[in-house]
C-alpha cells in the first residue's frame, strides 16, 4: 500500500500537468472547470473540458479516486483523450468535501503541488454538490468554459456581492487566519447559476454559509465594497445607495471591558433611485448620510455577531489583523472571540459625480 502511495505521489506532476511528449493537441481533454466532492469511499471529481479546435464540444464526466491524482489516472484509463489540467481555470469545492477537514487538506496539497497548475486558478465553494455546478457551468458556456473566470476577473468587483479568490489567495488566507476564510459561493438554481454570497471555513473545514447581504458586509470589512447597493426605506420611499468608494481601518486596544476592535468604515456613493438626487440639499443630505451610515453599521454588526456565535474561527481575518497591527493587544487574548467589535460608519453622498 505504501509503495502504491509513493508511486502515485511520484506520478502527480505528470498527471496534473499532462506533460507527455509527442501528444497531438486533439488527443487531449483540456479541462477548464473541475468540481470535487467527497464520496463514501473517496473523491468524486467532475471534469468539464473546453471545445476542441475542431469545434467539437467534449462532454462533462465524473470519475472516482482515493486522491485527485488517482481520479485523473482513472479518467485517462477510460478515455481516448488524456486529461490535461494545464489550462484549468476554475475549481469548485462541494460541501461534502469542505466538511471533511482531512480530505479537503489533502486536495489542497495536491493542487498546490501540481507543477503546471497556476496559482491564479479561481476557487469557489458550494452548499451542494460541485458536480451539479460544473454541469450547469458547462451548459451556460459550452464553447470555452471561461465565463466564470471572466466574471470573477472583470465583473465581481463591480457588483460587490461576491469576490474573486484564486488558489494562492485561499492558501495564504488559510495560513494567516488559522484555517479560516470565506470562499466565493456558487449554486445551481432553477434559473441557472447563482454567483453571490460566501462559504465560511473555520479550522480548515466548512463552518457556515453567508447570503449575499452578509457577503456584502464582509467585503466592506475588506475595503472592497465598491459597487455594492444598499437600500433603505426613507419616508415610505425605497432609496438605493450605490457605493462608489469605500475605505476601512481598524483600531485595537486594551480597555477596562477587555480587548476592543474599532472598525472604521468610510463610504462615498450616490443615490440611484428615482427622485433621490432631489433630496440632496441642506439638512436632508446630512440626515440621509446618517440614515445610510446606520444601515451599514447595523449590517456589519449583525454579520459579525452571527459569525462569532457560530465559530471561533477568524473567518473575517479580524484576529489576524490585530496580530499584524497590535501584537501586544493580541497577546492578551486567544482568538477573535475575545474582541469586542464596534463599528463606526461615515457616509458621504455624491451628486453630479462630485463628493461634497
Between strands 42-49 and 61-65, the pairing is antiparallel
Is 11 a residue whose pLDDT tops 50?
no
**Percent of the residues in the chain that have a pLDDT greater than 70, as a whole number:** 80
Is 259 a residue whose pLDDT tops 90?
yes
How far, in whole angstroms, is CA 52 from its chain's centroid?
30
| pLDDT computed for residue 142 by the predictor | 60
Q: What is the 3-state secondary structure (H, E, C) of 305-316?
A: HHHHHHCCCCCC
Which of 235-239, 244-248, 264-268, 330-334 has the lowest average pLDDT? 235-239
What are the residue boundaries of the structural domains of the chain, listed by start?
2-210, 224-355
| H helices present in the chain, as ranges | 2-17, 68-78, 95-98, 101-113, 130-140, 147-150, 156-159, 167-176, 212-221, 282-310, 318-325, 327-330
Instruction: Give the contacts of 298 (CB within 8 A, at least 6 positions apart).
Output: none
> In whole numbers, what is the pLDDT of the chain averaged over residues?
85
At residue 283 the predicted structure's pLDDT band, cuts being 50, 70 and 90, is confident
DSSP line for 222-246: TT--TT-EEEEEETTEEEEEEEEEE
Is 143 a residue whose pLDDT tops 60?
no
Residues 142, 118: Cα–Cα separation, whole Å: 22
Rounded mean pLDDT, 85-90:
88
The superfamily in CATH containing domain 224-355 is Nutrient germinant receptor protein C, domain 3 (3.30.300.210)
Residues 249, 126: Cα–Cα separation, whole Å: 30
Which of 4-8, 51-55, 273-277 has the lowest average pLDDT? 4-8
Is 7 a residue whose pLDDT tops 50?
no
177-210 pLDDT, tens per residue? 999 999 999 999 888 888 889 999 999 999 999 9
User: Which of 22-26, 272-276, 315-319 is the most confident on average?
Assistant: 315-319
Amino acid at each position: 500500500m505504501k509503495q502504491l502511495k509513493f508511486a502515485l505521489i511520484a506520478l502527480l506532476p505528470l498527471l496534473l500537468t499532462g506533460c507527455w511528449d509527442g501528444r497531438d493537441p486533439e488527443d487531449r481533454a483540456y479541462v477548464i472547470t473541475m468540481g470535487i466532492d467527497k464520496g463514501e469511499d473517496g473523491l468524486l471529481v467532475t471534469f468539464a473540458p473546453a471545445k476542441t479546435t475542431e469545434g467539437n464540444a467534449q462532454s462533462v464526466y465524473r470519475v472516482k479516486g482515493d486522491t485527485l491524482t488517482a481520479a485523473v489516472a482513472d479518467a485517462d484509463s477510460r478515455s481516448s483523450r488524456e486529461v490535461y489540467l494545464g489550462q484549468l481555470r476554475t475549481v469548485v469545492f462541494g460541501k461534502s468535501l469542505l466538511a471533511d477537514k482531512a480530505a479537503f487538506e489533502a486536495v489542497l496539497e495536491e493542487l498546490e503541488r501540481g507543477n503546471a497548475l497556476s496559482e491564479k486558478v479561481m476557487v469557489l465553494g458550494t452548499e451542494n454538490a460541485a458536480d451539479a455546478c460544473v454541469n450547469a457551468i458547462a451548459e451556460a458556456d459550452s464553447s470555452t468554459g471561461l465565463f466564470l473566470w471572466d466574471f470573477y476577473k472583470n465583473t465581481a468587483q463591480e457588483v460587490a456581492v461576491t469576490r474573486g479568490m484564486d488558489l494562492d489567495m485561499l492558501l495564504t488566507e488559510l495560513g494567516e487566519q488559522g484555517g479560516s476564510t470565506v470562499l466565493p459561493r456558487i449554486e445551481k438554481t432553477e434559473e441557472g447559476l447563482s454567483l453571490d454570497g460566501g462559504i465560511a471555513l473555520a479550522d480548515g473545514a466548512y463552518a457556515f454559509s453567508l447570503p449575499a447581504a452578509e457577503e456584502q458586509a464582509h467585503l466592506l470589512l475588506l475595503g472592497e465594497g465598491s459597487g455594492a447597493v444598499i437600500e433603505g426605506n426613507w419616508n415610505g420611499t425605497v432609496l438605493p445607495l450605490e457605493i462608489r468608494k469605500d475605505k476601512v481601518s481598524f483600531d485595537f486596544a486594551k480597555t477596562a471591558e477587555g480587548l476592543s476592535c474599532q472598525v472604521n468604515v468610510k463610504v462615498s456613493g450616490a443615490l440611484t433611485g428615482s427622485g433621490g438626487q432631489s433630496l440632496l440639499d441642506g439638512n436632508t443630505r446630512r440626515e440621509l448620510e446618517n440614515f445610510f451610515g446606520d444601515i451599514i453599521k447595523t449590517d456589519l454588526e449583525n454579520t459579525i455577531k452571527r459569525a462569532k456565535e457560530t465559530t471561533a474561527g477568524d473567518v473575517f481575518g479580524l484576529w489576524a489583523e490585530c496580530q499584524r497591527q497590535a501584537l501586544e493587544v493580541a497577546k492578551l487574548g486567544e482568538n477573535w472571540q475575545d474582541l469586542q467589535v464596534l463599528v463606526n460608519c461615515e457616509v458621504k453622498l455624491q451628486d453630479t459625480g462630485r463628493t461634497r
